[in-house]
Each structure stands twice: as C-alpha cells, then as structure tokens.
Amino acid sequence: MSSFVSVTRDGGVAVVNIDNPPVNALSFHVREPLMQALILLRDEPSVAAIVIACAGRTFVAGADITEFGKPVQQPELRPIIAVLEEIAKPTVAAIHGTALGGGLELALGCHFRVAEAGARLGLPEVKLGLPPGGGGTVRLPRLVGADKALGMIVSGTPINAAEALGAGLVDAVFDSDLTARAISFARDMAAKGGPFMPVRDRNDRLDPAGLPEFDEQAAKLAKKARGLEAPIACAQAVRNAITLPFDEALAAERKLFLKLVAGDQSRAQRHLFFAEREAAKISGKDLSRRKVARVGVIGAGTMGGGIAMAFANGGYPVTLLETSSEALERGLATIDRNYAVSVARGSLSEDAKRQRLGLFKGTTDYGDLADCDLIVEAVFEEMAVKKDVFGRLDAVAKSGAILATNTSYLDVNEIAASTSRPQDVLGLHFFSPANVMKLLEIVRAERTDADALATVVELARRIGKVPVIVGVCHGFVGNRMLAARGAESEALLLEGATPSRIDRAFTDFGWPMGPFQMGDLAGLDIGWRNRKARGQTAVIADALCEQGRFGQKTGRGFYLYENGSRVSVPDPDVEALIRAKAAENGIAPRTIGADELIERTLYPLVNEGAKILEEKIAARASDIDVVWVNGYGFPVGKGGPMFWAGLEGVDKIVARLDHWHERTGRQVFRASPLLRRMAETGSWE
Ligand code: T1G
C-alpha cells in the first residue's frame, strides 16, 4: 500500500484506511493506492466485507482542489467508484467529521454509509463554482429523492448525521467507536448475505411524476443565482438523474463539470476558497495564543449588541457593559428579541436561545470586566470617547487581556498610545449586523503583539467570522475603498445617470444591490454625519438629508419605500432635485452607458486597492478580495476586485483611468504605480 492508504483486517472484514492530512482530500497520491486496494480486496476470497474509513479529524473532505486546472492524473474518482460498485461484498463508508464533495461521492459508491453522531455530509461544489463531478448529482437523488438532493446540491449546505439518517443517506449513526461499529455492521451485512444493490441501481426514490414540482423548485433557486452558472448546472444535473438512464446522466454531469471547472467563475470561487484561508495566516514562528474564556463588550447598542451576540453564538460567556441600567436593559431586550426572531423562523431552538442568553452578564460597572480576556468597545465613534473608555479599561483589565476597538475609521495607533499596554490593543472592525455579517477586519496597530493578533484571528474563525488583518489608515481596507467606489456617484448623477440606472448597472454586474440602494438601507444620515465631521459635502445626498430623507428608516431616501416596504421605488422628486442641482452647476444631462458607470466606480475601487497594497495596509491582493466579497457583496463569481481586475485586463483599467484623469483631473482616477506595474508584470507583488 502507501502511507496514505493502508488496509487492516478484522476477521473477514477488510478496513481501508485513508490518511492524508489535514482533511483526507482525494489527492492523486491517495487515489492510486485506493484503487489498487479496492481491486485487490474485490478479488480476494477471504474478504467478506469492506469498510472505508479515514484517519485524523475527518472523512474525505473532497477532491484535492489544488489539482484543479492541472493535467488530470488517473485514476480519477469516477473509475474508483465504478470499481466499488463492481464489488459484490458489502461495502461500508465509516464517516466522521465531514464527508464533502468527492468524499461523499466516494461514500455513495459504497452499499452502505454509517456515520458518527457529529458528522456532516454534503456536496458543496457549488461554492467552488462547480457541480459535483464524481456522480453525486446522479446517486444522491437515488437515496434521498430529487427534491432533497436539489436543495442540498444547489445550496452546497451540508446536513448532519441525524438528518442524513432520516433522509436515507446513511444507514446507521453511532455515538462512538465508529470504526469498530462499522466493522460489525459490515460483518452483519455479510452474514445476512446479498445481493447488495449499488446506489446506481436504486430507482425507487426517483419519481418522474414529481418533475413539475421539481422544476418549480429549480426555477426559484435559479432566480437567486444572480448570474452564477454553477447553481443552474447543478439543478440540470439533478434533473437528468430523473429523466435520463444512469450512465447518460453521469456523462452529462461530467460534461457540465468540465465546462465549469475551466471557466472564470469557478477559478474565481476557488481563488476565494484559498484566499480566505491565506488571509487568516500570520507570518511568525510558532505564535502562541492567549486563552480567551470570557469576552467583555462595551456598549449594548446596534453594534455592541450584535458583537455580543456573535461571541455568545460561538459559545463564549459575555459581560455586556452599558453606562446606565436603562440602556443595558434596552440592549439586553433587543438581543432577546433578535433570538426570538430566529426561533420564530426555525433557525434556532428554544433551548439554544436559552443557552445563549444564559451566557450574558449585564453590568454598568467597569470593575466587572476585570475577569475578561478580550474586551471589545463599541461606543460612540469619537476619539475622545474611545480614549476615555480605553483609559478606564487600562485601569481595570487584567494583565494580558486584549483590548479591542470596533472603530470603523479612527486611528487605532492613537487609541493604543492612550494606554499603558499598546501591545494588547488592536481593532476588531465588525460589519453591521455584527451577529450576521461574516467579515471581520482585524486592525493591526504599530505595537500590537503578534500573539494577540493570532489569538483574535483564531477566535474569529471559531465564531464563524472571516478574519482579514488590515493596517491603520482612514477606513482601513473596506471603507477606504468604498469611498473610492462612491467618489464619482454624485458626478454621475449630475451628468445625467439616475440612481436606479447606476444601481441597475451594479446588479447587472452581480452585486446584490447598487450604491444608492445600499445607502438607503444603511441610512444616509451616517454618511452625512461623517461628511460634516470632515468638512466635506455631497450636493445631492446632503440635500436629501436636509429634507430628512435618510433612506428606508424614514421611508424616503434616494428612493421611496411605500408603507414600510423595503422595495426601492424611483422618486420623480429626487430626479427633479438632481436635475435642478445639475442646472445650478451648469451641467447638461447626457445618457451614460453601463461601461462608463462601471469604469468610474469599479476601476477607482481597484486603484484604491492597489494603493492599499503599496502602503502595506493589506498584506495580499487576495486579502482585499476576501474583504470585498464577505463585507460588501462583491460577486463571488468575479473573485473580488483584485481578481476581477485580472479578468477585466489591468492594462485596460489603467488606460481608462488615465482617460478619466485627463478629462476630469480628479485624484480618484490617478492610477497607482503598483497598478501600472501589475499591468506589465501580471503580479501584485
Ligand atoms: N482540497 C485541498 N485542500 C483543502 C481542501 C480540499 N478539498 N479542503 C481543505 N483544504 C485545506 C485548506 O486549504 C487548509 O489548508 C486546510 O486544508 C484546512 O482547511 C469531485 C470536484 C473540510 C470543512 O469544498 O470545507 O470534491 O490553509 O482551514 O476550517 O465532485 O476545509 O492549512 O494550508 O478549511 O477545519 C469539495 C472544502 C471539493 C470542502 C474543514 N469539498 N473544505 O474546515 O479547515 S471539490 C469542499 C472545507 C470536489 C468532486 C468535487 C473545509 C473543511 P492550509 P480549513 P477547517
């Protein structure tokens, strides 16, 4: 055998052990010995049954994604599954951890699947811009039915062992001793005697009469695809399982897979898969982690409450501090209400709600933060207020506690310098709603200790956040680039583009919403307050705010929101206001095409990203992509602004920036030296 695949015997049961850390991916160096082992065991008379198990923390978590885009090395997964299905003896997959993608497909090649209670099973290929490529779209429906399979494959969301048992995906669930229990399960099956039907031959769960409902479900899912090809391909592949003979459906799946794996969207989504993991890496040898048993949060408002929930959702006890008992009660009541909404929606059980609320301790006394290992402040966005809070924390927090500010813009170095322990100070920039949004910008100040950073990066992943380490500047990475993306918005309005025209160019690009819809959602008053604090103006947005049009929260902003609806309706009054302001500025309206709208918003976005790299505010271009996909809805099929720049053509971006810079003279179009270098070298380094 090999060090990656070994075979042990337990009486007549042969156990094939896969050991390919960290996640038992089906790399070539696993597939080859695995194929050899199965052929040997298939033909060996003394073997009455076969169990496939994995060492380490998980069953096979899929094909080796690093192999995609490279020449395929035989055997691929499909021939291995074909050998499995030739085996007349009972074959059993023993699943712990996660059986995902090719891992679940391998398990579907077995007659039986048994799982440990905490296991999760799924086909998440759609998140990589792919349909399953190892027969998952044709075998899964044969076990769980087409409708269930469609939901699992188009969402890519795994199910737990209990749900898998109920759906018919696994045949038994064990609380412990998985391999031993799998062996005795296999022995029992052998004793019962065959024939054992391979999944490919099971057709009882496929019901062509159910096609109309299936098509209806598939059409609804297609609406959410927002230009992504993989969800559509997944639905088509599952539909083929119902309408085509097995081998034809398998061939059709392969064709869809090969088309998408070579496409830009899958390349973009695979880029993001690795980018997210790279962003969580900190250079430095053997960094220690500080112990975090209890988290303190200062401020129980929208952000503070959301942050407190994010930690409680991750199982951390939280001490929530407010300045008064009334404010504290209000904050705790909001948190209770938020959990109640999740329970009503069915996404949280009553027990889980009780358990999470039990993690909260409210106080108005800073002394009660003394036992916290991490304290996050989410108080008013003003330097004086932040410094006062950090001064108090400096006096009460225990030695080694990490002191974090949730500021969106302010200078974290200045905040750190106001304490006696700058090495323990960093920024944790959550995005609202903090208990929902994945992105967490971790702001590394000049004197932040590496182990403090490593601690919060690990903590962030544990509470389900996507951490990106950023440096100190106004707006860090995300908000600084957001300002660049919006710098031309008013000019475009004054020159003749309406809010809905610009927003539509964005949604056609793949954004969930455009900048004006987003402004109305977040509240125009936030930007208004920031502009006033910095002595800046925005002709249109200021005029709307002066009329009290703050967006959805006031029923009117750039758009109208009738009777509390969240649907943005264009408002003739706003368009009249824009025309009037344009006339005051002597600007004659003209029709502006989508290309120009994209050039004057997204090219400055990329350019600002290049400046951020030059200033080392972000360590990698891929970190910037992670920020924008997880914090601002940049379309995953385009991989983030910096990856997309490569698809768009950096030389074209530079040429158009030069054009607009020459025409307008505005700084936002001055191409950064790194962007010019990237246009020549193809590298952001
Ligand atoms: N291939 C290669 N490397 C992988 C990998 C994979 N499938 N999965 C994880 N890694 C690396 C990852 O980059 C990281 O590396 C390390 O393992 C730990 O991962 C034919 C075509 C299993 C839930 O999409 O969801 O099968 O940074 O940090 O948080 O139809 O990894 O340490 O160098 O994520 O504990 C389908 C992807 C593939 C599952 C564990 N499978 N993986 O999470 O660890 S396509 C997937 C995950 C396919 C077939 C198709 C997660 C995890 P490094 P990690 P984790």
- pLDDT for 370-408, tens place per residue? 999 999 999 998 999 999 999 999 999 999 999 999 999
pLDDT band, very low/low/confident/very high, at 5 (cuts 50, 70, 90): very high
pLDDT digits (tens, 9 = 90+) for 191-215: 999 899 999 999 999 999 999 999 9
- The pTM assigned to this predicted structure is 0.95
Name residue, tokens 């074209």. 652
Which among 109, 6, 101 is positioned nearest to 53, based on CA atoms? 6
Q: Is the pLDDT of residue 458 over 70?
A: yes
Which among 401, 411, 458 is positioned nearest to 282, based on CA atoms? 458
The predicted pLDDT at position 57 comes to 96
Mutate to test the pocket of ligand 1, among 4, 18, 23 (most ligand atoms within 8 A of CB): 23
Instruction: Provide the residue ranges of all domains of the chain, joining segments of one domain with +.
Output: 5-262, 295-476, 497-584, 594-681
- Six token digits for residue 223: 């609406």
Which among 460, 352, 483, 478 is positioned nearest to 404, based on CA atoms? 460
Residue 126, ligand 1, Cβ within 6 A: no
381 in catalytic set: no
**Does the 594-681 domain belong in CATH 3.40.50.720?**
no
User: Span 248-257, mean pLDDT?
Assistant: 98
Which among 426, 501, 420, 411 is positioned nearest to 460, based on CA atoms? 426
The predicted pLDDT at position 685 comes to 85
Residue 667, ligand 1, Cβ within 6 A: no
pLDDT digits (tens, 9 = 90+) for 462-506: 999 999 999 999 999 999 999 999 999 999 999 999 999 999 999
In ligand 1, which atom is closest to the CA atom of 123?
A: 36
pLDDT digits (tens, 9 = 90+) for 125-142: 999 999 999 999 999 999
Tell me how far the alpha carbon of residue 16 lies from the centroid of ligand 1, in angstroms.
21
In ligand 1, which atom is closest to the CA atom of 65?
A: 1
Mutate to test the pocket of ligand 1, among 4, 31, 65 (most ligand atoms within 8 A of CB): 65
Instruction: Choose which CATH entry (1.10.1040.50, 3.40.50.1370, 3.20.20.140, 3.10.580.10) describes domain 497-584.
Output: 1.10.1040.50
- Residue 199 CA to chain centroid, in angstroms? 32
Name residue, tokens 């050899």. 36
What is the full DSSP assignment across 268-321?
HHHHHHHHHHHHT---STT--------EEEE--SHHHHHHHHHHHHTT--EEEE
Name the residue at shortest CA distance from atom 40 of ligand 1: 23
User: Span 112-119, mean pLDDT?
Assistant: 97
How many alpha carbons fall within 13 Å on the CB side of residue 422? Answer: 12
Residue 66, ligand 1, Cβ within 6 A: yes
Residue 136, ligand 1, Cβ within 6 A: yes
- Six token digits for residue 519: 């402004």
Residues 6 or more apart whose CB falls under 8 angstroms from that of 129 comprise: 228, 229, 230, 260, 263, 265, 266, 267, 268, 269, 270, 636, 637
The predicted pLDDT at position 534 comes to 84
Distance, CA of 501 to CA of 514 (rounded, Å): 9
Which among 76, 156, 75, 140 is positioned nearest to 107, based on CA atoms? 140
In ligand 1, which atom is closest to the CA atom of 274?
A: 13
Residue 158, ligand 1, Cβ within 6 A: no
Residue 22, ligand 1, Cβ within 6 A: yes
Tell me how far the alpha carbon of residue 281 lies from the centroid of ligand 1, in angstroms.
16
- Cα angle 97, 98, 102 (rounded to 5 degrees) comes to 145
Tell me how far the alpha carbon of residue 22 lies from the centroid of ligand 1, in angstroms.
9
- Report whether the peptide linkage leading into residue 22 is cis, meaning its omega lies within 30 degrees of zero: yes
Task: Give yes or no on whether 295-476 and 497-584 have one common fold.
Answer: no
The predicted pLDDT at position 1 comes to 62
pLDDT digits (tens, 9 = 90+) for 64-110: 999 998 999 999 999 999 999 999 999 999 999 999 999 999 999 99
User: Which of 15-19, 38-42, 118-122, 192-196 is least confident?
Assistant: 192-196
Whether the CA torsion 277, 278, 283, 285 is positive or negative: it is positive
562 in catalytic set: no
Q: Is the pLDDT of residue 535 over 80?
A: yes
The predicted pLDDT at position 185 comes to 98
Asked if residue 310 lies in contact with residue 353, where contact means CB atoms within 8 angstroms, the answer is: no
Catalytic, out of 76, 85, 116, 125: 125
* Neighbouring C-beta atoms of residue 360, cutoff 10 Å: 20
In ligand 1, which atom is closest to the CA atom of 277?
A: 27
Catalytic, out of 85, 105, 377, 488: 105
The predicted pLDDT at position 286 comes to 76
In ligand 1, which atom is closest to the CA atom of 257?
A: 21
In ligand 1, which atom is closest to the CA atom of 131?
A: 30
Instruction: Choose which CATH entry (1.10.3720.10, 3.20.20.70, 3.40.50.1860, 3.90.226.10) describes domain 5-262.
Output: 3.90.226.10
User: Span 437-442, mean pLDDT?
Assistant: 97
Whether the CA torsion 444, 427, 514, 549 is positive or negative: it is negative
The domain covering 295-476 belongs, at the CATH homologous superfamily level, to NAD(P)-binding Rossmann-like Domain (3.40.50.720)
What's the per-residue H, E or C state across 373-403? CEEEECCCCCHHHHHHHHHHHHHHCCCCCEE
pLDDT digits (tens, 9 = 90+) for 521-534: 989 998 898 889 88
Which among 104, 166, 97 is positioned nearest to 135, based on CA atoms? 104
Asked if residue 187 lies in contact with residue 49, where contact means CB atoms within 8 angstroms, the answer is: yes
Secondary structure of residue 75 in the 3-state scheme: coil
Share of the chain above pLDDT 90, in %: 93
Residue 65, ligand 1, Cβ within 6 A: yes
Q: Is the pLDDT of residue 284 over 90?
A: no
How many alpha carbons fall within 13 Å on the CB side of residue 506? Answer: 24
The predicted pLDDT at position 242 comes to 96
Residues 6 or more apart whose CB falls under 8 angstroms from that of 133 comprise: 63, 77, 78, 102, 125, 253, 254, 257, 258, 261
Distance, CA of 113 to CA of 94 (rounded, Å): 6
Residue 132, ligand 1, Cβ within 6 A: yes
Distance, CA of 106 to CA of 81 (rounded, Å): 6
